[in-house]
Structure 1
């Protein structure tokens, strides 16, 4: 399908000469500069580019979801009618009903205080004219449609009780509730492991084929684009620099920026740490169990999230922990940091902290830091970047003056390749990749010994991933840092870790030196993970 063909058919959604500006304390930020994008019925259009390229802000503007300091001009035509700047009451008849959006971070988008059923039903009642009883029936149908197991039970559950892949399926179900014409998917597979990612993409392709909707897929992952897209728009610095049919653009790109995106991949290998380096972290026979279900006259069930795990990490070493969603990777990391109750022993820098209380752990907290998977959820929207980065200093170095804290903030922001001038802005004014850099800066300002990095690059495009990998290597070399690197991105793990531990169902299925694991995996599960990550991606049937 050519661009001309699409225009001849008439676009369901047609964005013309769109600009988006943000007013900030340091001046106007031009996020989108005269963008034209169109999508027709039954078509999948991908918008690709690095973090901060303007791809998400383009579609947020189209949906009328910009932050208060955002200004926009141009036209957003839905079936020929300009909806840009419509009053909220009129716009709500379209967004959430005819044009819907799956957001990048489902755990942030879903309300932790309400059941899945209520969150599915509310947009149907609000936008679709459903009664509550009809909405509840439709909610069950939607969970069945997106292939969530045991949907009746999941309706009564809460977001934290679902896996990452299941939460994303709930977001997809919510977006389909009112039979939309256009589905905008903003990095919907970013935080998912390779096998779950493949299932979500197959689900979206199947739903599009069955429902005939147009899909706008925002991503930094060109491997995904190769699988799903009919046409592609490449954005850089708020502008479209190249567009065309997916197959021709990905095989014969014309713009240097598109070529650079296609070539980007984390590089290099980490040098092994000598066996005589001191042990920083040691876990012995660690287990973490959760009571699930249960109730009146019903015995609770026990889920072993971590089951008899033993590990050792030396000074300057990076231990990569990989596995699918629900394998226990993140739970293990939190248990090692004494953030979850567990059985077994944990030693940090030679001290047994297995039964340490809050008072005993407090002086160690600055030395044992955690970078979360979801930067937007972990950064306070009411604090400036400078306040966020220096918040820990107020606790751990209370003697510092405001001027000294500000100086430290400027220095660490430069270390993570952010302009210190940005410290007066708020998190919503940054891209996903920039927000993760802020989260890393907040950790590094305390000069820790051990950093647990929980999917720190999952929201980043490949070019930024390369920079973050180099940054983490430099910080490690300069300060002798020890990393526990939790990730489903095997390319990044291979570039950064010198030891790898593979987890499945809470247990270690294989462990060893990075190159040995990747080149000569012993277990079938490890081979399947590596094959899913390395395979040449083929288009999904139905497109």
Structure 2
């Protein structure tokens, strides 16, 4: 943590955010006061849907079209609410920058990483094309993007979720901002990279005198990283104070509940007598990156190399590893969502190499919940339409009334109010959108669900609810899960078998209790230490900077 001064640079007064919906006005933020001093790190925490992200979106003039804001937001005395866009643009992107929660929807899929980083540098910094490119390369190195020269020519879809998040951080830091608003900046990152990124932000904060407004659900990070904390619930600030006071002497029951919320329990292993649903052998996925006149020769990336697994009825296999380890690519390859080599057998039928038409009969039973819920939910469809879309394909004889009944049932099953089914995805928080994505998969009553980071956008209290939900669904329908995550605490609580991946290969696997309690490889040991001693790691980093 950096020692801040008392100069108030960002001041929020009585801010209120309301959304017009088909069901009436929804008040997301209900009169909130906050401030940030120069060089200070302030954390805003609270459950999904508490309004913490909407405050920042409103402050930056980024609310959805059906949203409205009232109140006051000032930056160094300059009122931002109602400021003409041209004047606002001279502040945001230069003096105030923001790292968004879902990088895939914030990065333009049609532009290379180089172009996207260079644009704000040239617009706000006035650099030449060559100087901007050099600065972009420096930033990619700074946030530890592997092979940055080549990644400059990549498109967002060619990067892992964690790599995309690091690109967003590089873009935000491009113009040495006065205030960095970070909305869940480590959500998509594995635990080892989390510590690196937080250390990087602290280092840059010290160098630039930058203030940080940190929105997160990870309280372990907050305790080591923040100077002050605002705790939000249902659009209101319910408690605020110094970090030590909040963590050691919380006053409100809600704050105490947040601090006590950790994934718990364990899943007993299934017996060897349970039928095998999905069997994969020697799975390999290679991406060919084409060359060009400016980008140089093409090359290949071996994302998955000779990986196999056997999934039985009622089993949960947890796949863990750093960002870019190939775990998400493996999940997609198993469901034939991208080209691969090897052998995949589902209930006795080899589906390896099946095209879209050949896979259609199997899609109902082989579902996937993607890492980025906003990117996988159509912004033009209501939640009810999104959830029931699969029924139109796999159960076309159902009446509209029956589909609506099934949508209500699915929403209730994932803990959402069924009356929300007439709203659109942008009207929900990140955690709520993830539950919508789970409902879309569950409504078809599949036998296998591949869950790619299904809890990464959720605070710990909601994670516990989702874990309980997934356990209940699994038991009632005898479902099998492949659970892909960088959150080892969640994997430990939900999985009975664990696979650890690194650079496309399996470095360790076995029953979850054995892998977590007695890891054999040095890499697994490092992951465990970073996951379950992150607070100590961050504290050591903070002590080293003092």
TM-score with structure 2 length normalisation? 0.95
- For the 8 Å contact 1:43–1:215, the answer to whether it is kept is yes
Segments of 5+ residues of structure 2 without an aligned counterpart are: none
SS, match of residue 440 in structure 1: helix
1:175 matched to 2:172? yes
| Deviation larger for 164-173 or 501-510 | 164-173
Q: Residues 418-475 of structure 1: CA distance to partner in whole angstroms, max 9, x if unpaired?
A: 1110000000110111000000000111111110001110111111111111111111
Q: Residues 129-168 of structure 1: CA distance to partner in whole angstroms, max 9, x if unpaired?
A: 4454543343334334444454433323222333433322
Residue 250 of structure 1, CA deviation = 1.2
Structure 1 partner of 2:460: 462
RMSD: 2.0
Q: Residues 161-200 of structure 1: CA distance to partner in whole angstroms, max 9, x if unpaired?
A: 3343332232122112233211100001001110111111
Q: Distance in 1 between matches of 2:405 and 2:143?
A: 50
Quick one: which of 248, 253, 269 aligns to 1:251? 248
Q: How does 1:253-402 map to 2 (within 5 A)?
A: 253-292=250-289, 294=291, 300-402=298-400
Q: Residues 335-363 of structure 1: CA distance to partner in whole angstroms, max 9, x if unpaired?
A: 11111222221110111112333332111
Q: Residues 355-387 of structure 1: CA distance to partner in whole angstroms, max 9, x if unpaired?
A: 333332111111100000000111111110001
C-alpha change, 1:146 and 1:314, in structure 2 (3 Å) is closer
Residue 390 of structure 1, CA deviation = 0.6
Residue 512 of structure 1, CA deviation = 1.3
Q: Distance in 2 between matches of 1:530 and 1:179?
A: 34
Residue 504 of structure 1, CA deviation = 1.5
Q: Residues 219-274 of structure 1: CA distance to partner in whole angstroms, max 9, x if unpaired?
A: 00001101211111111111111111112211221111111111101121112212
Structure 1 partner of 2:440: 442
- For the 8 Å contact 1:22–1:31, the answer to whether it is kept is yes
SS, match of residue 456 in structure 1: coil
1:224 matched to 2:225? no
Q: Residues 103-122 of structure 1: CA distance to partner in whole angstroms, max 9, x if unpaired?
A: 01112211111012211222
SS, match of residue 291 in structure 1: strand
Report the count of equivalent residues.
540
| Deviation larger for 91-100 or 45-54 | 91-100
TM-score with structure 1 length normalisation? 0.95
Q: Distance in 1 between matches of 2:31 and 2:50?
A: 13
- For the 8 Å contact 1:92–1:127, the answer to whether it is kept is no
Q: Distance in 1 between matches of 2:307 and 2:523?
A: 17
Residue 399 of structure 1, CA deviation = 1.1
Q: Distance in 2 between matches of 1:114 and 1:165?
A: 18
Q: Distance in 1 between matches of 2:328 and 2:317?
A: 13
Q: Distance in 1 between matches of 2:439 and 2:163?
A: 31
Residue 203 of structure 1, CA deviation = 0.9
Q: How does 1:14-25 map to 2 (within 5 A)?
A: 14-25=11-22
- For the 8 Å contact 2:325–2:501, the answer to whether it is kept is yes
Q: How does 1:129-144 map to 2 (within 5 A)?
A: 129-144=126-141
- For the 8 Å contact 2:32–2:236, the answer to whether it is kept is yes
- For the 8 Å contact 2:339–2:353, the answer to whether it is kept is no
Quick one: which of 98, 102, 105 aligns to 2:102? 105
Structure 1 partner of 2:517: 519
Quick one: which of 464, 470, 473 aligns to 1:472? 470
Quick one: which of 37, 58, 62 aligns to 2:59? 62
Q: Distance in 2 between matches of 1:216 and 1:87?
A: 24
Segments of 5+ residues of structure 1 without an aligned counterpart are: none
